[in-house]
Amino acid sequence: MTQQNQNGNLVAIITMCFIFAMISFVTNMAAPFGNIWGNTYSWAGMMGNMMNFAAYLFMGIPAGKMLVKYGYKKTALIALAVGIVGLFVQYLSSLFGADVAVFSYDGQMVALNLIIYLLGAFICGFCVCMLNTVVNPMLNLLGGGGNKGNQLIQIGGTLNSLTGTLTPLLVGVLIGQVTESTSMTDVAPLLFIGMGVFVLSFFIISAVSIPEPQNNSKGEKYEHSPLAFRHCVLGIIAIFFYVGIEIGIPAQLNFYITNLGFEGSAAIGGTLAASYWFLMLIGRASSSVISGKVATSTQMTIVSVTAIVFILIAIFMPESIAVSFQGHDIPVKCFFLALCGLCTSIMWGGIFNLAVEGLGKYTAAASGLFMMMVVGGGIMPLIQDFIAKATNPISSYWLIIAMLAYILYYSTIGCKNVNKDIPVDD
């Protein structure tokens, strides 16, 4: 490889890692914002998160087609422009519509400002779906697939976790304690930061040269699809469950602590949710060091089993066992739930890496299918929230255990490529 190609790849890797960070920044606004809306509408706590991830269902396959037709750079630029619009629409929900009733639900009038916010969250979902479609296959391909490809994804994931740590922490600080007067106006500064970073990112990516590993601008018809590979299909299902796990664990943890009702509970809930994402950062950073030598399937098996153990401890540990944290008694089980961040940290990159192994020219199309299934991050936490309201937040984690059991199956058995007879070279 020439020095010029090496430099070009380095710039591309840094750019993709930066995009990885922005994905988490936007995505992780939804759950803590839910504390604001959930205080007014008991059913709306996870609706912003649901709308954010619902966009993946509609945009996943189109994003994959955009990637194949227009390339990585143009797809990323379009995504950033869409993200700016989505964040601005969310900001508009803080300006007007609170006194305008749109419809009645569950005996309560729903105001226009909630509809505006949900629309903004949906638009942001289009943005992060396209960005995810770009960043994952490119980092995997720049690393040459295999363990090295997973290593680059984990490095990008480390920055992703860093912004994931900061977002709920900042929201918690801005909100403090949720009261009747708490509104989107309180978190407007965070929305402006997001818009500013997106604008800056747009100009940076416009200026850099990004290699295009996939090139099918002529619209060539392939004889097969990613769905012809069993390990890819099972990986798509695993991604659906994984994103539900990743979002559901800290979201319910945040709600659980916030609903304890003491002064500053939202801030402490945000802090513990942030600690979950911080532990994801540590886990991904550690994985990025060892992934060149330790098989992805081995790492995935270990973290799946460990996460199941942590959650079982949290479920069965009495709430009366508590420790003092920032001047308040917090159940110890909350810290075991936060520790799950160490385990979920490597799952996204690990599943993607295992599922696209050996796909060759079908990788870009597979990326679109994966992004479509990220809708699991909206559907599964919503189901978990229904369980939490029908029983209690801790009991809802049985759903997480069931999904982790599937991840364990995929890591040990389902990830094996049994379709090596399908030609994958151009």
**How do residues 394-423 score in pLDDT, each as one tens digit?**
999 999 999 999 999 999 999 998 888 787
Domain boundaries, the chain: 3-206+224-414
Render pLDDT for 134-145 as a digit per residue (tens, 0 to 9). Answer: 887 778 777 766
Q: Residue 257: what pLDDT?
A: 87
What sign has the CA pseudo-torsion 331, 333, 335, 338? Answer: negative
Q: Which helix (H) or strand (E) holds 253?
A: helix 230-258
The SS3 of residue 39 is helix
How does the average pLDDT of the chain come out, rounded? Answer: 83
Residue 155 has pLDDT above 50, yes or no: yes
**404 is written with which tokens?**
């982790």
Residue 217 has pLDDT above 50, yes or no: no
Q: What is the mean pLDDT of residues 233-245?
A: 94
Measured from the Cβ of residue 424, the count of other Cβ atoms closer than 10 Å reads 15
Distance between CA atoms of residues 373 and 54, nearest Å:
9
Residue 201 has pLDDT above 90, yes or no: no
Residue 45 has pLDDT above 50, yes or no: yes
- Closest by Cα among 141, 168, 403, 416 to 280: 168
Is 106 or 222 the better-scoring residue by pLDDT? 106
Is 310 or 222 the better-scoring residue by pLDDT? 310
One-letter amino acid at 369 equals L
Phi-psi region of 2 (alpha: psi -120 to 50; beta: other; left: phi over 0): beta
Q: Residue 233: what pLDDT?
A: 94
Query: Cβ neighbours of residue 23 under 8 Å, at least 6 residues apart?
Result: 128, 131, 132, 135, 160
Is 214 or 14 the better-scoring residue by pLDDT? 14
Is 58 or 387 the better-scoring residue by pLDDT? 387
Render pLDDT for 70-88 as a digit per residue (tens, 0 to 9). Answer: 888 889 899 999 999 999 9
The answer to whether the CB of 12 falls within 8 A of the CB of 211 is yes
Render pLDDT for 316-372 as a digit per residue (tens, 0 to 9). Answer: 999 889 898 888 888 999 999 999 999 998 898 889 889 988 887 787 778 778 878
* 95 DSSP 8-state letter: T
- Closest by Cα among 179, 29, 189 to 117: 29
Domain 3-206+224-414 has CATH 1.20.1250.20: yes
- Closest by Cα among 156, 79, 62 to 353: 156
